[in-house]
Chains A and B, each alone.
Chain A
Amino acid sequence: MSYRHNMQLTPERKLRHFLSIEGLPRALLMEILDTAETFAQVGERAMKKVPLLRGKTIVNLFFEDSTRTRTTFELAAKRLSADVLNLNVKTSATSKGESLLDTLRNLEAMQSDMFVVRHQQSGAAHFIARHAAPHVSVINAGDGCHAHPTQAMLDMFTIRRHFGQFAQLTVAIVGDILHSRVARSQIHALTTLGTNEVRVIAPKTLIPKDIEQLGVHVYHDLDEGLREVDVVIMLRLQKERMSGAFLPSENEYYAAYGLTQARAARLKPEAIVMHPGPINRGVEIASSVADGERSVILEQVTHGIAVRMAVMSLCMGSHHATQEAEA
């Protein structure tokens, strides 16, 4: 199969890096979810730490601001007993003219074992993985508009906890699909896991060209698109989309594409509402819906830790086992 050449996998088809959901086999996604399940139970204990990554150094390399993602990665690493270094590169080396690669080399020289990378350019995580030393694993914590695979996996985890399966589900992703790395990763995860139907709902200006080829149905009418869905995923709308002529105004967007109380009330009784955060209340979702009984938004955050623990331990486990076997 083609994933033999996928740079994310070891020759034994185990996880080496975690850069994108695309091209990963379904069994591997299931393995991540199952492993996360065991870690979720760790999180519920009084003693939350496990010694799996003791002695390993994990660097959170963030070229773009983030609070939630960085802190959940940090917590995940600490619960695995790794040493964690947080680097907000936006305010450090690269602003002094140091290149991405120089930053990388310096961190490697400090014997890091894993980079968790967020960068504003699509493909940055691939670039770092391609140039990193052979013993280093790279986890993509968001690259441009390309991918945010751990976010997608924690969403899958949340969906599986609620429904126990994907094959019967209709999932709608609503909002700025064009600029969303989260949406792209969710689409790949949902289709790989065999979801019955995946819909994307947005005005035409926020739907990327030929998105249908990723296996989704496109809707421009929210009410039509939400009919019979089991899961609604609302995306954050960046305010700068108004100035880019993507949209006329926040008011018009909310009226046409906001998840209002009235729209939420028309959903199927068991339907859930998700949001990767941070939420723009009253822009894409009503406060009452975000805090309402269908909302699983805070669960998503909790699950983020378990899923990131799973991804980190799988990457380090398989990759380092391979390295030691070769040594």
Chain B
Amino acid sequence: MKIAIRAGRLVDPANEVDRQADLFIADGKVVGVGRMPEGFAAEREIDATGQVVCPGLVDLQARLREPGEEHKADIASETRAAARAGITTLCCPPDTRPVIDTPAVVELIHRRAESSGLARVFTLGALTRGLAGKQLSEMQALRQAGCLGLSNALEPVADTLVMRRALEYAAGLGMTVFLFAEDPWLRGQGCAHEGAVSTRMGLPGIPEIAETIAVARDLALVEQTGVRAHFCQLSTRKAVRKLARARHDGLPVSASVAAHQLHLTDMDLGEYNVMAHVRPPLRSQRDRDGLREGLREGVIDAICSDHQPQDADAKLGPFSATEPGISALETLLPLTLRLVRDGVLSLSQAIARLTVEPARILGLEYGDLAVGRPADVCVFDPEALWTLRAEELVSRGKNTPFVDWDLEGRVSYTLLGGRIVYQAAR
């Protein structure tokens, strides 16, 4: 199908484009930017006047809950939510059930995603077998099956020797390792940022140092092994500063942050608001400002959703007994656009952190609308104001602390490989 997206503000940071331009699409690819190719006859015209046209979003970290936790969500339901949110590429961490430590699980996920056909779904393979932190996974086999990198998800590799060897082995294969930095002993039974709020609420705290110690250890191992590493979901200002120094020293590291960490703090725990129970925990205002600063400086390359859909029961209980996580696909774009309003990023920088930067980290060609690239496109109205209602989320997970927030930015079209996979109701 030949599609022309007319008169939108085309924001394509990969090619330093930010101007009003038409976009021409044929055979699933971009065939013209600004200028219509000769002989192009659009079968479908999209009027994007007053709207932003950008690459489809690339989400570095989203749990789709399949296989194993289909009572929470599945690939079909969550890719539908992704399409509504303008997200065209998703990367799943390996903590499915069973864990992504065999090619069979990778193939299952790919097959389900293909049959739903609403988003590109990629996987990270387990860094250690069963995520147990003891034995290396079959990394070559996982790579051949299509895993874009390796991760131990939220499970620790506490044994430094195992970690060293895992990173060495991955480095030898040229694979990127995605690290979640949290010292398991310092975290203990913690479920909230250790500080005045956790003290007042009597909740076991997770100290800032649980993250900074782990970042320091892992940076030393990265330096020693030469592996390409990505730090996921940073939550503290101090970890960002450590990373800034490491990058300055030339280490091959990148970092991302979950969108909610840029807006919420531990004060949002209120009277035991279980929807604000996340891991890593919401931290202090100083930490939040430190994350924003890291984002502005480019120390943090990408913003991810850290989507974790939960069923109602998972969030029904006393705070520490509930499962952490936010159903976050559908707030990724509006929360990022809020950073533009708050003066943290320009629109083009914000889009870059949702598209070309995460694509680069994953080694993918998406997030880029140059001629010849796959036509994964998100068209959104940056000024459309809407109020979030949990029951209106497309995701099966209705768990979000952003209920009743007035959000700006609403997706009107999502194109995946030149196909319209979402179109807002008029």
Residues of A within 8 A of B (CB): 7, 22, 99-101, 119, 121-124, 126-127, 143-147, 181, 184, 208-211, 213-214
Within 8 A of A (CB), among B199-220: 199-205, 207
B317 proximal to A (CB < 8 A) = yes
| Stretch binding the partner chain, chosen from B133-141, B143-151, B318-326, B367-375 | B318-326
From the candidates B194, B196, B321, name the one contacting A213 in the complex (CB within 8 A).
B196
Residues of A within 8 A of B195 (CB): 209-210
- Taking a contact as CB atoms closer than 8 A, the residue among B207, B313, B316, B321 that contacts A121 in the complex is B321
Tell me which residues from 7 to 29 in chain B have a Cβ below 8 Å from any Cβ of chain A: none
Q: Which of A22, A126, A143, A209 has the most CB of B within 10 A?
A: A209
Are A99 and B320 interface neighbours, CB within 8 A?
A: no
A100 to B196, CA, bound (A): 28
Nearest CB of chain A from residue B210's CB, rounded to whole Å: 13
Indicate if the CB atoms of B317 and A143 lie closer than 8 Å. no
Distance (whole angstroms) from the CB of B68 to the closest CB of chain A: 20
How many angstroms between the C-alpha atoms of A306 and B202 in the bound complex?
A: 27
In the assembled complex, how far is the CB of residue A20 from the closest CB belonging to chain B, in whole angstroms? 9
A-B contact sample (4 more), CB < 8 A, given A127-B317, A214-B200: A126-B272, A127-B272, A144-B318, A210-B195
Most buried by A among B196, B202, B203, B317: B202
Question: When chains A and B are docked, how far (Å) is the Cα of A210 from the Cα of B266?
Answer: 14
Contact across chains for A99 and B318 when beta carbons are under 8 A apart: no
Q: Which one of B202, B207, B313, B317 contacts A146 once the chains associate, using CB atoms below 8 Å?
A: B202
Q: How far is the CA of A147 from the CA of B271 in the complex (A)?
A: 13
The answer to whether B318 and A123 touch across the interface, beta carbons within 8 angstroms, is yes
The residue in chain A whose Cβ has the minimal distance to the Cβ of B185 is A245
Contact B318 A119 (CB under 8 A): yes
Q: Count CB-based A-B contacts (< 8 Å).
A: 74
Q: Which of B196, B207, B318 contacts A122 (CB 8 A)?
A: B318
Instruction: Produce 1/0 per residue, B250-272, CB < 8 A to A.
Output: 00000000000000000000011
Judge whether A127 and B198 touch: CB under 8 Å.
Answer: no
- Contact (Cβ within 8 A) A122 B200: no
Q: Which residues of B contact A (CB under 8 A)?
A: 194-196, 198-205, 207, 271-272, 313, 316-321
Contact A123 B201 (CB under 8 A): yes
A-B complex: 9 closest residue pairs judged by Cβ atoms: A146-B202, A145-B202, A123-B272, A121-B318, A210-B196, A122-B202, A208-B199, A124-B318, A213-B196
Contact between A146 and B316 (Cβ–Cβ < 8 Å)?
Answer: no
A210 and B318 in contact, given A99-B313, A123-B272 (Cβ under 8 angstroms): no
Is the beta-carbon distance between B199 and A209 smaller than 8 angstroms? yes
Asked whether A210 and B316 contact (CB < 8 A) given A7-B271, A123-B272, A126-B271, the answer is no
Given contacts A123-B272, A123-B319, contact A184 B202 (CB under 8 A): yes
Task: List 30 interface pairs A-B (beta carbons < 8 Å), by A numbering.
Answer: A22-B200, A99-B313, A99-B317, A101-B316, A101-B317, A121-B318, A121-B319, A122-B201, A122-B272, A122-B318, A122-B320, A123-B272, A126-B271, A127-B272, A127-B318, A143-B202, A143-B318, A144-B202, A145-B202, A145-B203, A146-B202, A147-B202, A181-B202, A208-B198, A208-B199, A208-B205, A209-B199, A210-B195, A213-B196, A214-B196
Most buried by B among A22, A119, A146, A214: A146
Instruction: Check B199 against A123 for contact (C-beta < 8 Å).
Output: no
Nearest-neighbour CB distance to chain A for B293, whole angstroms, equals 23
Q: A7-B271, A209-B198, A210-B196 are in contact. Are A122 and B316 (CB under 8 A)?
A: no
- Cβ of B320: which chain A residues have Cβ within 8 Å of it? 121-123, 144
Q: Which A residues lie within 8 Å of B202 (CB)?
A: 122-123, 143-147, 181, 184
Instruction: A181 to B204: give the CA distance in the assembly, Å.
Output: 12
CA of A219 to CA of B207 in the docked complex: distance in angstroms?
22
**Distance A101 CA – B194 CA, assembled complex (angstroms):** 28
Among B200, B316, B318, B321: residue with most chain A CB under 10 A: B318
Minimum distance in angstroms from A45 CB to a CB of chain B: 38
Interface centre among A119, A126, A208, A214 (most CB of B within 10 A): A208
Chain B residues lying within 8 Å of A209, measured Cβ to Cβ, are 194-196, 198-199, 205, 207
A residues in contact with B199, CB < 8 Å:
208-211, 213-214
Please report the C-alpha to C-alpha distance between residue A146 and residue B201 in the assembled complex, in whole angstroms.
5
Give Cα A22 to B194, complex, Å.
19
B residues near A208, Cβ cutoff 8 Å:
198-199, 205
In the complex, A126 Cα to B270 Cα: how many Å? 11
Which chain B residues border A100 with CB–CB below 8 Å? Answer: 317-318
Task: Give chain A residues whose Cβ lies under 8 Å from the Cβ of B313.
Answer: 99
Closest residue of A by beta carbon distance from B284: A210
**B285 CB to nearest A CB, Å:** 13
Q: In the complex, what residues of B have CB within 8 A of residue A214's CB? A: 196, 199-200
Alpha-carbon gap, A208 to B198, bound state (A): 9
Task: Give Cα A146–Cα B191 distance, bound, in whole angstroms.
Answer: 14
Q: For the complex, give the distance between the alpha carbons of A122 and B202 in Å.
A: 6
Residues on A with beta carbons closer than 8 Å to the beta carbon of B205 = 208-209
Identify the closest chain B residue to A128 (Cβ): B318
Distance between Cα atoms of A100 and B320 in the complex (Å): 14
Min distance, Cβ B191 to any Cβ of chain A, angstroms:
9
Q: How distant is the Cα of A211 from the Cα of B194 in the complex, in angstroms?
A: 11
Q: From residue B193, how far is it (CB to closest CB) to chain A in Å?
A: 9
Given that A99-B313, A101-B316 are known contacts, is A123 also in contact with B203, CB under 8 Å in the complex? yes
A313 to chain B, nearest CB (A): 25
Bound Cα distance from A119 to B318, whole angstroms: 9
Q: Which residues of B contact A22 (CB under 8 A)?
A: 200
Closest chain B residue to A207, Cβ basis = B199
Which residues of B have CB within 8 Å of A101?
A: 316-317
Which residues of chain B are near A122, meaning CB under 8 Å? Answer: 201-203, 272, 318-320
Q: Distance (Å) between the CB of A243 and the closest chain B CB?
A: 13
Shortest Cβ distance from A7 into B: residue: B271
Closest to B271 in A: A126
Contacts of B207 in A (CB 8 A): 209
Chain B nearest CB from A23 CB (Å) reads 9
Q: How far is the CA of A22 from the CA of B270 in the complex (A)?
A: 12
A85 to B342, CA, bound (A): 55
Q: With A99-B317, A100-B318 in contact, is A184–B196 under 8 Å at CB?
A: no
